[in-house]
Amino acid sequence: MKRWNVEVDGVSVSFLQSYLRCRMETHLSYIDRLTPIETATALQFGRVAHTVLEECHPAPAKHTYEAIREVTNRFETEPSTPEQQLLLGTVDTLLFQYMRYWKGDQTGRCTDNHMTVAPFSAQGVELEFDVMSPTIDDPGEYLAPMRLKGKIDACFRDSKGRLWLKENKFSGQIVEATVQDRLTYGDFQSYFYAYAWELQTGEEVYGTLYDITRKPALRQKKTEGTDMFLKRITDDLQKPERQDFYFNRWEAPIKQANLKKWLSQVLYPILTEVRMWSHGMIPTYVNPMAHVPTYGRSKFFDGIYRNDWTGYKVREPYKGKTS
């Protein structure tokens, strides 16, 4: 199978984030193309939820439980299991309430009082970019062109006509102070996407709007069936005092001066190092700090530390424009 080549395949934000965590992890995931083996029922919550948002959120007529369920039904496999039913049912319930909570979208009205911007005119969803970074040949600094690839969840204009990117995240753990610090002092993904989208469209990106939705953390009781547990989740989501807990939104405005500084001090040096690494000029090493983070082990923990590769397979190449 074809191996990754920086000159041909380029880099994505997930590639660069992986590289900054651990070069060995990046080698295993992108060059050797290994991925943990998933069982039929081990569906990824985010994958299902993103599909629902892509198909339903831009069209108010699809902000119904029935329309959402029609999308999630496509992820159901036979034979269905209680685990799978619980995952899909949770997505149905959570995103139905999401649509109701953010009903001001496409009107430019801010549902959340602390927000200053809201989607007014949708410009598209699941937007792919594939661009070449320009050659940098300034005194003391040189960067050969590199291919930048990726996919943005959505793009919209606010009520003033300014272009914004929109990213959807789902998490069981949200530390608001940490999120705010990341977005205030320069979020890697936000700047990378803004830079790439400006290269592709020639239009300035004013910022990124992050939707961060908490996944229900209620635990199923031993005597509680799937339907009963889903009803308890639904009841919790419908409580007015709980909705601000589940549905969060942060603005990350981007000033062009800050973007230029980020390119010079962050992205360009990393791209230069990645090119050197891909040609064997700097070593591949294991970063132990990256494999047992706060919320669980790295996906390559068993392979790297136990030399147990039975839970992995070679990933099939992505068939779209990007990988």
- Helix, strand, coil in percent for the chain, rounding step 5: 45, 20, 35
- Per-residue pLDDT, averaged over 97-102, amounts to 90
115 assigned to some structural domain: no
The whole-number pLDDT of residue 45 equals 86
Closest by Cα among 8, 2, 18, 41 to 300: 18
- pLDDT > 50? residue 323: no
What's the CA dihedral at 146, 185, 252, 237 to 10 degrees?
Answer: 120
Total residue count of the chain as it appears in this document: 323
d(CA 111, CA 240): 14
Range with lowest mean pLDDT among 39-43, 88-92, 250-254: 39-43
CB 243 within 8 A of CB 101: yes
Question: Pick the residue with more confidence: 240 or 122?
Answer: 240
Tokens of 219: 């635990």
Q: Tell me the whole-structure pTM to 2 decimals.
A: 0.82
Same-domain status, 166 and 211:
yes
- pLDDT > 80? residue 140: no
> What residue numbers bound the domain in which 126 lies?
121-272
Question: Pick the residue with more confidence: 175 or 304?
Answer: 304
307 assigned to some structural domain: yes
Q: Work out whether the CA dihedral 81, 83, 87, 89 comes out positive or negative.
A: positive
The whole-number pLDDT of residue 109 equals 58
Range with lowest mean pLDDT among 38-42, 88-92, 313-317: 38-42
Same-domain status, 181 and 264:
yes
111 assigned to some structural domain: no
- pLDDT > 70? residue 309: yes
322 assigned to some structural domain: no
279 assigned to some structural domain: no
Mean pLDDT of the chain: 83
Range with lowest mean pLDDT among 72-76, 111-115, 162-166, 242-246: 111-115
Tokens of 242: 């709980």
d(CA 84, CA 40): 9
CA 1 to chain centre: 27
Q: 110 pLDDT band (50/70/90 cuts)?
A: low
pLDDT digits (tens, 9 = 90+) for 215-243: 888 888 888 888 899 999 999 999 988 98
- pLDDT > 60? residue 321: no
Same-domain status, 164 and 240:
yes
Q: Is 200 left (phi over 0), alpha (psi -120 to 50) or beta?
A: alpha
The whole-number pLDDT of residue 312 equals 85
- Per-residue pLDDT, averaged over 123-142, amounts to 80
Please name every residue paired with 314 in a beta bridge, in sequence order, or none if there are none: 34
Same-domain status, 65 and 146:
no
167 SS3 class: strand
Q: Which residues contact 228 (CB under 8 A, 6 or more apart)?
A: none
Beta strands (DSSP E) in 144-194 are 147-157, 163-171
Question: Pick the residue with more confidence: 117 or 50?
Answer: 50
Q: Which residues contact 285 (CB under 8 A, 6 or more apart)?
A: 22, 23, 24
The whole-number pLDDT of residue 160 equals 87
Please name every residue paired with 171 in a beta bridge, in sequence order, or none if there are none: 214
133 assigned to some structural domain: yes
Cis previous bond, 79, omega within 30:
yes
114 assigned to some structural domain: no
CA 44 to chain centre: 12
The whole-number pLDDT of residue 31 equals 87
- Per-residue pLDDT, averaged over 132-136, amounts to 83
pLDDT digits (tens, 9 = 90+) for 262-292: 998 889 999 989 998 988 899 998 888 777 6
- pLDDT > 80? residue 293: no
Please give the full DSSP string across 106-146, using - where no structure is assigned.
TTT--SSTT-S----EEEEEEEEEEEEPPPEEETTEEE---
Same-domain status, 238 and 144:
yes
CB 155 within 8 A of CB 197: yes
The single residue listed with the structure tokens 């998490």 is 171
The count of structural domains within the chain is 2
- pLDDT > 80? residue 297: no
Same-domain status, 145 and 78:
no
235 assigned to some structural domain: yes
Same-domain status, 20 and 57:
yes
- Per-residue pLDDT, averaged over 8-17, amounts to 92
Same-domain status, 267 and 294:
no
pLDDT digits (tens, 9 = 90+) for 149-204: 999 999 998 888 899 999 988 887 766 666 666 666 568 899 999 999 999 999 99
The whole-number pLDDT of residue 200 equals 95
